[in-house]
Amino acid sequence: MYSELDDKTLVMLTLAGDQSAYEILVARYQYRVTTAAMSLLHSKFMADDAAQDAFIAAWMKLNTLREPEKFGVWVVRIAKRCALNMRVRYSEYMEHFPAVAESDEDALDLLYSLPDDETSNPEYRYMRSEERAQLRERVDSLPEKVRMIISLHYFDGLSIAEIADRMRISEGTVKRQLHDGRKHLRKELCAMDETMNDSFVRRVMKKVEELKLWQYNKQKNGFESVYRDVLRDVEELPESTDKYHAMADVLLRGWWWIPGKQNDELYARLRETAELGKNDEVMAFIVAREDEKLWGNEKLEFMQNKQIPLLEAKGFTVALGREWHWLGRELINQGKTDEGIDALKRAISILPESDAYRALSESILELHKLREVFCAGTEENRISMLAIASEQYCDTDAVNKTTPRYWQQYYYDSGVWGYLCHDSTYNIFCNASYCDGHFTLERLSVGESYVGSDGTTLTYTDDSATVETPCGVFDGCQLWTTENIRCTCDTYYKSGVGIVAQRYRDGVIDETRRLCKYNVRGDGLIPCDIGNSWEYTAGYDPEYQRYLSCHKVIWSDGKKTIFGAVIGNVRLKYDLDSWLDMMTEIRREYFGSDGKLHDVSEAMSRVQELASTPAQKAHTKSAVSVMRRIFDTNEEFNPTLTSVGLWNFFQYSEVSVRDGRYSIKDNRNWSFEWKARISYNSIKAVVFNDIYGILSSATECIWSDEWQAGAKLTYEFFRLDYQVRTKLSCESCEPITTKAGSFDDCIKLTLDVSGFGSGLEYRNGKKEYYFAKGIGIVRAVFYWQVDVCKCVYELTSYSGVGEGYMPICEKLTRHYDAIDLTDGCEAYADYSYARDNRGNIAIYEDRCGVKNITYRVTDYGSIWDEVAEETLWNDGKHDESRMRHDINNLKLLLHYLGRPDRYWGRPDKAVAWHEYRLRMLESLSPDGEIPRAFLGLYVSIKFRNACALFGTGEKERAYQNLDESLELAPEWLKIQDGEPLDVGDELIFGGVKLIHGKGIIELPDGSREPLDDWSVLDTICTRDLFYRGLTSPHGWEWFDSVRSEERYKAAVERAKELRDREW
């Protein structure tokens, strides 16, 4: 019956598990496949072997055949490949085998179609050369008669009778020895193939491990090409658990380190390969990432009731232990400390000693024990406690195998005061290894340096230093210095003891940690025996500050070492005679844990009196200016204020120059801010006062020597976990004139930036920067709302000039003002340059964004848009005035619909307001249909009205509103960004369209304008609104009366489907 079926059907039946269908395919194409192989091998026996190999290969790869109806052509192609491989294999050790002739078109076509890695790849050629050498040995090892019979039969084409006649033996002897020789040779070939395959697998696995070593490199330039090569090799491995384990490892590194790789497709592949390969590390990453999408009780329930049972069922032990670890931390964060401690203990019981998360769990438990005593009686906002676990590996290139290389650290923080400076002043092991994880380098001599991937230098400074510590004097210490844009660390090592002291300097801090207690066994600069411990002191005056720093080797096998640490810092009070303490108080105390401003006026006065160096004076001037403005524009501290604060920042940045690129690094230990939520286009210009920072976030520098006229560049990188992509073009431009003067020899940069999100969207889009030689930036133009809106900042005053298009030298100042702002807004950026205490250039930024409120507008007709409409009418431009009138109708309607409701605690008032707005929306179109632009608002009001109706006890009407909102929601949620939406009767609203998700409207003539209140329409109805509202314990209490009812629970499930669905 099967013999009558076509190839496509037989292929499908085979894939479904019916092997008899494949037997029909073999019978159908046996002759054609053998003939194809014979055309290349000229030996029936070898052609039979090649045909057999082809059918086996086709069966194994049948699921990859995209066009099943072409099975015959496909399997013949495979047969030719098998034949050619056999021909290449035998040609070099059997001289009678004919070479591939130029006229042999089938062979040559097939040869040229082989992938590069099978013809030109050096590794492949090396593997084949090894194979041939071993094959010669196998053939030469055969008895002489057998070897001769095989040659005559297979390669000279003699029949059995002809061989018997030539060798004067019986045909039976020829058949027997031919059979034995062929059997022996096949066995040897199979063994050799297995050996070569095993060798290939080992080489690929070694490449995967080498790929992981990119973890050390702070800069990942060049990683992507290596990643692609290794991934291709892994994909060619034979099917196995190990293959998918390795593939998951490789894909995860691509996710971490290649911009643009983080997408749903790669995530799905990561999960699949992690499960197939039983890869615990990758599965732990996947589970943790899923957890982060949720919050509150829902997150706890998800971790406890879904993730943990899933990991238990699938046998992912390490991922399971780590999930218990994260559950413990989440419970502690939610105030359930006892439950959190129990979960951490559970993690410890599951995880192996070699896992860093077990050590971190132990360190967290230790932290909570110490915290009760160490932090007793101290306000929460003056406490910093850290639990740390770090992994270190012996560097395989090192001569001294006892010196580890820093791999990675994992931490947990408790308290508020020091959350900004974990790595900078606390973890001395991390500080010492800033240069690509190296503590030291055996190959360096005293005075020599090594430059890491990101430009950090490691210098062998001294080999005979003497260090005094509270636990003794150590002679003959090695001093190693790491230096980068952020800091300089001088680390002193004593062989057989470890780190005995470390001096840390950034542009402001200069502090030294010294060993005060240790218990060490073993040799080397960092002895790694289990149980080794070190404690350090910072030498703080105990009247002002308490400090502890305890480190311990938790586990080691000689190659890998796990360190645990607990570090604490408690601020008791501030020294009024210390510039550093006063600046610290300003930075740390102005904003309390209660979310309010706190008076730091005394510190501001003292810091101005104490500033002595140029760096301190520049720092003080900018920081105090910003802080004073923050308080002056706050009604609680200044009841007679004339302006309100919108966007005020002090930023302290260190400058680095490397390879013609000028980079800045914001030091968050000292930078601070006070900002409002900016949602209206009328005040949006103030957010662009970060002139240097916006450029830096788009290109990772504020100048590059590549920026020459005619240059076109693309930048891709990670920034704050966003995948940023910037297209840049550079051109010469006409002279620029500003209030600061006229500037010739200018260059214009045009940038198109994408990738930022979550409050940083303003950094996307088109930007223009104009540079003048010797000056720097003289103008910056920023566009937003799909380039419909723009603002301009210009250089209005400066002092000092320098070399190039972006001078970096001390004593420079640059002041930029935003031009022609409206609505009483003022914005500027003031930059001062000075040398810090390391001798490097630092930039101190005073960025202002305020709104003047001294005037009172009581006439709605005085709004600028209304004035423009009236002016056009008076000028006789009636059509234009009518268009402006209709747009104003829309703006006024949105303003009204979006006004604060003021119905808190009054469900009856809430119902009246909601139903009034619903009637308004239902009247917007002549046919009573809700215009698509207003559909999201309509659904949202229906949902909120349901909540209010439950509050008034009108349960049936409430359920009706709830059901209607859930039924209508999909119609709104499926609308895509950029889609033009009707706003209602065109006689009232002029036929304009709302461009969904963009905050703009499109007029009938195709022009576009910003729409300030667009969020009332576009963002008020999100896919998580319904589930969040129905399940939140706070803010939606009017639902409480029905939460236990089945009808309500069914609505919760519908809401969850809306949230989880991809729209």
Q: What is the pLDDT of residues 925-950, one digit of tens each?
A: 888 899 999 999 999 999 999 999 99
DSSP string, 252-291: HHHHHHSTT--SHHHHHHHHHHHHHTT-HHHHHHHHHHHH
- Give me the pLDDT at residue 102, please: 36
What is the rounded CA–CA span in Å between residue 964 and residue 125?
69
Task: Look up residue 958 and give its two tokens.
Answer: 């409430």
Extended beta strands in 59-180, E state: none
| Angle between helices 241-257 and 264-276 in degrees, nearest 10 | 150
- Give me the pLDDT at residue 491, please: 98
**pLDDT tens digits for range 430-452:** 999 999 999 999 889 999 999 99
Q: Is the pLDDT of residue 92 over 50?
A: no
**pLDDT tens digits for range 216-242:** 888 888 888 889 888 988 887 888 899
Q: How many CA atoms lie within 13 A of 938 on its CB side?
A: 24
Q: How many CA atoms lie within 13 A of 447 on its CB side?
A: 0
Strand, helix or coil for residue 995: strand
What is the rounded CA–CA span in Å between residue 702 and residue 693?
8
What is the rounded CA–CA span in Å between residue 359 and residue 387?
10
Q: Is the pLDDT of residue 99 over 70?
A: no
What is the rounded CA–CA span in Å between residue 322 and residue 350?
9
> For the residues 173-201, what does the mean pLDDT come to?
64
> For the residues 1026-1037, what does the mean pLDDT come to?
91
Task: Look up residue 66 and give its two tokens.
Answer: 């995209």
Q: With cut-offs at 50, 70 and 90, classify the pLDDT of residue 421.
A: very low
**pLDDT tens digits for range 656-705:** 999 999 999 999 889 999 999 887 888 999 999 999 999 999 999 999 99
> For the residues 62-89, what does the mean pLDDT come to?
84
Q: Which domains does the chain have, with CATH numbers?
A: 2-200 (1.10.1740.10), 230-360 (no CATH), 361-571 (no CATH), 579-632 (no CATH), 643-852 (no CATH), 862-1060 (no CATH)
Long-range contacts of 199-202 (CB under 8 A, 24+ apart): 199/127, 199/130, 200/127, 200/237, 201/237, 201/238, 201/242
Calculate what percentage of the chain has a pLDDT beyond 70: 90
What is the rounded CA–CA span in Å between residue 322 and residue 280?
10
User: Residue 363 in contact with residue 396, Cβ under 8 Å?
Assistant: no
Q: With cut-offs at 50, 70 and 90, classify the pLDDT of residue 188.
A: low
What is the rounded CA–CA span in Å between residue 946 and residue 965?
9
- Give me the pLDDT at residue 113, please: 38
What is the rounded CA–CA span in Å between residue 157 and residue 42?
8
Cβ within 8 Å of residue 905, ≥6 positions away? none
- Give me the pLDDT at residue 987, please: 93
**pLDDT tens digits for range 603-620:** 999 999 999 999 999 999
- Give me the pLDDT at residue 517, please: 98
**pLDDT tens digits for range 570-585:** 999 999 999 999 999 9
> For the residues 254-267, what does the mean pLDDT come to?
85
Amino acid symbol at 297: N
> Lowest-confidence range among 51-65, 97-111, 978-992?
97-111
In terms of residues, how long is the chain?
1063
User: Residue 491 in contact with residue 513, Cβ under 8 Å?
Assistant: no
Q: Is the pLDDT of residue 280 over 70?
A: yes
Q: Is the pLDDT of residue 353 over 80?
A: yes
Closest among 853, 833, 692, 867 to 767, alpha carbons compared: 692
- Give me the pLDDT at residue 880, please: 94
- Give me the pLDDT at residue 248, please: 95
Q: Is the pLDDT of residue 519 over 50?
A: yes
Calculate what percentage of the chain has a pLDDT beyond 90: 63
pLDDT averaged over the chain? 88
What is the rounded CA–CA span in Å between residue 459 and residue 479?
9
Q: With cut-offs at 50, 70 and 90, classify the pLDDT of residue 1015.
A: confident
**769-785 burial string, b = 16+ CB within 10 Å, else e?**
bbbbbebbbbbbbbbbb
The pTM score is 0.76
